[in-house]
Structure 1
Amino acid sequence: MSYANRGMSFENLIEHTNMQYETMGLAVVNKRPTPIRVTSNKHGRVTGFFEKPSTVDFDGTLAGGRSIVFEAKQVKLETRFELKNIEEHQVEYLEKCHRLGAVSFILVEFESLRTIYLLPYESLKYYWDRRQSGGRGTQSIPLGDFEVNAWEVKPGRVPVDYLPIVYKIWNLGAA
């Protein structure tokens, strides 16, 4: 694996990847801005606040017209992904899009391991529902489960080459 872009944040690396995908004519995927309302008071001081919860980090369209939505998470733990790192409204948004036929997933980078996984919405939903029922061991997804229920994303023609996995999982032909 090449670590030439190691200094870039995970989301910036994905944005760079998405720009390359767009240049290649494979997809148009954009970072969604967080909805913030900017206000000013009578003294001219500018302030802002989160207007409403954001949906997910990225959305767009694949070649052929299929929608794609995903959340990107970077974790420092080597052994698991804490489900508290994803918000309920984000899971709900992924579910809504999934039900309408979109390609929905999360990308999780285990930063210290320098490993990225694509976890399809269906797998995330299993762990999310299990968390909601409570109990010991339901608050996170162990790394070993990623190795079984997710797909490792390796660099290829782009730094975070997730599209070949998307095309394989969702039977979309070739990227």
Structure 2
Amino acid sequence: MTEAPLSDPKALRALSHPFRWKLIQLLTEQGPRTATQCSEKLGESVASCSYHLNMLAKYGFVTEVEGPGRQKPWQIVRGRQSISPEGLEGEAAMAAEAAAMAYLDQEFERTRERLRQREHLPEDWRKSVGTEGHIKFLTAEETAEYLAELQAVLNKYDERRTDESLRPEGAKPVRVFLSVTVATE
């Protein structure tokens, strides 16, 4: 199921900060974490992590997990963010574009870093990771159909993200990034 794209300019601006995407990815891949744990993992100060987590919480992207103790872990509220300037105007369209560019910058940075570390992976993992690109000559309708088919494949195993009991032994967070673009004339 595809979520409606975000349209609130303030929420979109909250996602235009690259570090917030790092926090979202950390919480998505590793589950609930305190600001201190985020700081240790991302190399940013606790105060900065706390500030950015609070900004993400203000717009409903993360929430604190209730429990004992003073430091409460943060968790992801929604596993997917849909961002598009389509149908938006003015400030909202600019905020959507800024959020999308921040996401792409962070995604490419993370992909480059993980590919640099590929040699440190066990051989069975090295065979399964990398990048690939294809050119297809399709109509707009064929592209929509093709994308829907790919989305169905991408949705496989989604339940494992939120339910750790479904993860087989040896499962790791595997990032699959899909980009569909069309050349303009």
TM-score by length of 2: 0.27
Greater Cα radius of gyration, structure 1 or 2: 2
Which structure: greater strand fraction? 1
Which structure: greater helix fraction? 2
TM-score by length of 1: 0.28
